[in-house]
Amino acid sequence: MREYQMYINGEFIPNGDREMIEVVNPSTEEVISRVPCGTVEDVDAAVKAAYEAQKSWAKLSPVTRAGYLKELAGLIRENAELLGDTIAEEQGKTGAVGEVIGAAENIEYVAEFARRYSGEIVPSDDANENILTYKMPVGVAVGILPWNFPFYVMSRKLAPALLTGCTIVLKPSSETPNNTYELAKIIAKSSLPKGVVNVISGRGGVMGSALSGHPLVGIVSVTGSVPAGIKIMEAAAKNITKVSLELGGKAPAIVMADADLDKAAAAIAGNRMKNNGQVCNCIERVYVQESVADAFIEKITAVMSTYDCGDPRVPGTTVKVGPLISEEHLKEVDDMVKEAIAAGAKCVLGGGRDTTKEKGCFYQPTVLVNCKHEDRIMRDEVFGPVLPISTFKTLNEVIEKANDSEYGLTSAIFTKDLDVMMRAANELKFGETYVNTAHGEAYQGFHAGHRKSGLGGADGIHGIEEYLVTHTVYVSYDMDKN
């Protein structure tokens, strides 16, 4: 069995007799590795290593730092199959190599901003003065990673941090730490200076609070649940540490009567089933206009029924859907489905565990109709392959229902009417709105949520600026000097 070690200041730290965390393959329910269960002392060592390394790292030019990022992206590409297989094993994701390549592309994209992010020269009221605003690194960054897209989200935090002159401490989820430790092995063989990237692991309650509350940390970037985000903010508050949070979502998809129903069904099903429904920004609830509801439900049920479950690592497999992350998580999803049916929803597809599998946390693709807007299945996040559907009469009604949520990450609308498109763009209160397509944010966009979906964001120049602070310099000089 593999056993990983923490990576601090360019060294792998012997585990000794420390407590270890077992990592389970959700497809086979077998223990596949053990990782260190970190302590507050480990957090302190990693942060201090990053803090010392940041002093010299920040003095390098952005172009020089970008060179290190490009080197790292190249090494990730070279090891894509290994990294992808590691993710598929510990998380059950289909197409995991695509996540790895996407991370490499994102790192390369961010590196191209080395000559593009900038400060300003601001006019002064004093003729003998210039005002300069510099963009400076915020310092030590902490990246707390999720289990659903652990490697890609890593790139979203690591790349802008390193480009801007920050150093970073990465803390992977206890469910999926192996890929981050494999990355540490790659970094150890690269030319990156010691301490610039550090990897530690452990229980979220201990490590998250210690990292967020450390006085030497400049920013904590978290992708996770709302309760986790609240705890991070509470811990960061004592030092007024900056936080960037991407938390839960309950994305609505609105299907108008004039929509291309085949296109809408394919897009919504494909998006909902991505990573077996375990994606913060995937479509979580559908509102379809009454006059086309029956036709749309028939079409989307047919599409959803084509998604078969299985272990993506089995040779020759063509499965589209892997397992849920854990047995506990499967039970949470199943409980919500049963509650919805008890409240009056009708299950037209799936509705329970995939009993054709002897082992593994596999859940059937599920479609629920006749759902009421006030039902929990339409309001709380369901991290699984479950699609609840409700109907509406008017655009005013559905915009109000879509906005009636504690979340505000992503949204979608399917229509051919330009007026309806623009109303949705102006009135849907979400960080992102997709028109006649499903969610798949771009490197050059800005992925951010409103309300309980988070603070700050990632991607594009705005994501890079999360890791920068403004330093204003007033320069007074003698205009009369010859």
> What's residue 318's pLDDT?
66
Contact indicator for 288, 294 with CB cutoff of 8 Å: no
How does pLDDT run across 421-467, given as a tens digit for each residue? Answer: 899 899 998 888 888 888 677 666 666 677 877 777 777 788 888 89
Contact indicator for 36, 7 with CB cutoff of 8 Å: no
How does pLDDT run across 383-412, given as a tens digit for each residue? Answer: 889 999 999 999 999 999 999 888 888 889
> What's residue 173's pLDDT?
92
> What's residue 212's pLDDT?
92
> What's residue 335's pLDDT?
92
Greatest mean pLDDT among 24-33, 177-186, 424-433, 472-481 lies in: 177-186
> What's residue 362's pLDDT?
86
Q: Tokens in use for 14?
A: 């012997």
How does pLDDT run across 95-127, given as a tens digit for each residue? Answer: 889 899 999 999 999 999 899 888 889 898 888
How many Cβ atoms sit within 10 Å of the Cβ of residue 136? 16
315: which DSSP letter? T
> What's residue 93's pLDDT?
84
Contact indicator for 90, 25 with CB cutoff of 8 Å: yes
How does pLDDT run across 286-342, given as a tens digit for each residue? Answer: 999 999 999 999 999 999 998 888 888 777 666 678 888 888 889 999 999 999 999
Helix axis angle for 96-111 and 80-91, nearest 10°, is 130
How does pLDDT run across 335-361, given as a tens digit for each residue? Answer: 999 999 999 999 999 888 888 888 888
Catalytic residues: 246, 280
| Block residue for tokens 């979906």 | 453
Q: Tokens in use for 461?
A: 């120049």
Which residues, 6 or more positions from 219, have their beta carbon under 8 angstroms from its beta carbon?
138, 139, 140, 141, 142, 161, 166, 241, 242, 243, 244, 466, 467
| Block residue for tokens 């059937």 | 364
> What's residue 57's pLDDT?
97
> What's residue 137's pLDDT?
96
DSSP secondary structure string, 302-314?
Answer: HHHTT--B--TTS
Nearest in space to 264 (alpha carbons), one of 279, 290, 283, 291: 283
357: which DSSP letter? -
Contact indicator for 454, 409 with CB cutoff of 8 Å: yes
How much of the chain, in percent, has pLDDT values that exceed 70?
97
Over residues 208-228, mean pLDDT = 90
Q: Tokens in use for 96?
A: 């995991």
Over residues 255-262, mean pLDDT = 94
> What's residue 386's pLDDT?
93
pTM of structure? 0.88
How does pLDDT run across 262-286, given as a tens digit for each residue? Answer: 999 999 998 888 888 888 888 899 9
| Block residue for tokens 């996407």 | 102
Which residues, 6 or more positions from 148, have their beta carbon under 8 angstroms from its beta carbon?
91, 275, 278, 279, 280, 325, 383
225: which DSSP letter? -
DSSP secondary structure string, 46-102?
Answer: HHHHHHHHHHHHTTS-HHHHHHHHHHHHHHHHHTHHHHHHHHHHHH--TTHHHHHHH
Average pLDDT score, the chain: 90
How does pLDDT run across 34-66, given as a tens digit for each residue? Answer: 999 999 999 999 999 999 999 999 999 999 999
Distance (Å, rounded) from C-alpha 285 to C-alpha 251? 6
Helix axis angle for 96-111 and 62-78, nearest 10°, is 160
> What's residue 22's pLDDT?
93
Alpha-carbon Rg for the chain, nearest whole angstrom, is 24
